Amino acid sequence: MPQSGFGPSKLTYQMSKVHNYSAGPCILPPEVMRKASQSVIELDGIGLSLIEISHRSKEFVAIMEKARGLVRELLNVPDNYSVLFLQGGASLGFYMSAINFMKNEGGKGAYVDTGSWSNKAMKEAALLGEVIETASSKADNYTHIPKGYTVPDDADYFHITSNNTIFGTQFKSFPESKVPMLCDMSSDIFSKPVDVSKFDLIYAGAQKNMGPAGTTVYIVNKDALGKTGRKIPSMLDLAVHDSKDSMFNTPPVFSVYVSMLTLEWMKSLGGLEAMQKRNEEKAALLYNEIDRNPLFEGTTAAEDRSTMNATFVLKDEAAHKERFDKMWNDARISGLKGHRSVGGYRASMYNALPLESVAVLTDVMKELERTA
Ligand SMILES: *Cc1c(COP(=O)(O)O)cnc(C)c1O
């Protein structure tokens, strides 16, 4: 008889010590993971699991409201903005951002092309109207963030991707735009304070700095909605979701709950100023080693390099790759392989990655140099 996997269990949950550099889904704080796993057995002593209660129950409504409130508090979201926890990932956000902002008649969306994700956003928008490529760094394989362009003021909106997860570049300051600015902030939201009022829409998949995959946060200026003259399907209409307090249909309850726990964790550590300090320290440690170590080099322009995803290569792969790969694997580092379109290595250092994990990596890099 095969053994059922659901026999009596002691539920002693051991965190093994792996340094998790995964680009997404990615590392979450261990204390969040412990509380989340407990909630699946029983939520806060109510005798029921989080995933077997109604999303209309007072317990879950309180969780949703707390999660929305924490986003407001951490990002200092203005009162006329709505915070929504929806589904579909940022990949649906590409279309949703366009359909909620692009005019039905002669619609035009302007985009900065900083890599694969902005490209995908442009592709979805092109289904609805004209897409204007305001600037692009494609000719340089996206190694920098374009600068010195003007946003066309006859566009319905201007869309950017704040952090380029694959190529390792990041907007260090946001452009000025007279038309509504929309931003895919999937891979650097909550990594630092942001002036939300500069944007009419921010959207971000949860699985990089906020929680497990399954929910996407939308922060939208309510005054900017309802101006396209389009018929929008209910599930894609941000005004519909706002009117139902993010409960138009069953939300992804587990993802929202774990996101709430992570947001609480950020707040308990001092909020986004503290996250920024932590992230800048980690990035400085790694980039200084990449720049100092004669065996390595970064793949992006120094002024645009991302604090979240550091991309780098070995100068001489033939001589050092095999040994370096063995060394970081032996050091229990996981997820360091670069994206196939860049090659080399990518170290994703999201909020929950501790500084010690970066020190383990830089020690391995030093050791490689010492023993080369
Ligand atoms: C990961 C990522 C996406 C895709 O998110 P999904 O939730 O998989 O749809 C989009 N944009 C950026 C910047 C990302 O990092």
**Position 242 in a domain:** yes
Tell me: do 238 and 307 sit in the same domain. no
Number of domain units in the chain: 2
Residues 6+ apart with CB under 8 A from 345: 311, 312, 313, 336, 337, 338
Tell me: do 71 and 118 sit in the same domain. yes
Q: 253-285, pLDDT tens digit by residue? A: 999 999 999 999 999 999 999 999 999 999 999
Whole-number Å distance, alpha carbon 164 to ligand 1 midpoint, is: 10
Structure-block tokens of residue 116: 């694969």
Q: Please give the pLDDT value at position 14.
A: 47
Whole-number Å distance, alpha carbon 187 to ligand 1 midpoint, is: 7
**Position 114 in a domain:** yes
Q: Please give the pLDDT value at position 12.
A: 43
**Position 331 in a domain:** yes
Q: Which of 268, 290, 322 is the last residue of a domain?
A: 268
Residue 43 belongs to domain spanning: 39-268
Tell me: do 275 and 237 sit in the same domain. no
Q: Please give the pLDDT value at position 342.
A: 87
Which of 2-11, 98-107, 220-229 is predicted least confidently? 2-11
Dihedrals φ, ψ of 83, to 5°? -110, 125
**Position 9 in a domain:** no
Query: Please, which pLDDT band fits residue 8 given cuts at 50, 70 and 90?
Result: very low
Assess contact for 191 and 26: CB atoms under 8 A.
no
Q: Which of 216, 248, 268 is the last residue of a domain?
A: 268
> Is residue 194 predicted with pLDDT exceeding 90?
yes
Write down the residue that tokens 């003007």 correspond to: 150
Q: Which of 234, 268, 302 is the last residue of a domain?
A: 268
Residue 332: give its domain's CATH number. Answer: 3.90.1150.10
Tell me: do 211 and 332 sit in the same domain. no
**Position 29 in a domain:** no
> Is residue 7 predicted with pLDDT exceeding 70?
no
Residue 240, CA distances (Å) to 83, 87, 205 in order: 13, 14, 20
Tell me: do 364 and 319 sit in the same domain. yes
The residue to mutate among 97, 123, 160, 165, having the most atoms of ligand 1 within 8 angstroms of its beta carbon, is 165
- Between 5 and 123, residue with greater pLDDT: 123
Structure-block tokens of residue 214: 């399954």
Average pLDDT, the chain: 95
Q: 200-220, pLDDT tens digit by residue? A: 999 999 999 999 999 999 999
Q: Please give the pLDDT value at position 16.
A: 60
Tell me: do 329 and 213 sit in the same domain. no
Tell me: do 307 and 164 sit in the same domain. no
**Position 116 in a domain:** yes
Whether the bond between 251 and the residue before it is cis, its omega within 30 degrees of 0, is: no
The residue to mutate among 112, 182, 187, having the most atoms of ligand 1 within 8 angstroms of its beta carbon, is 187
> Is residue 317 predicted with pLDDT exceeding 70?
yes
> Is residue 137 predicted with pLDDT exceeding 80?
yes
**Position 15 in a domain:** no
**Position 25 in a domain:** no
Catalytic residues: 117, 184, 208
| Pairwise CA distance, residues 304 & 143, whole Å | 8
Average pLDDT over residues 318-331: 97
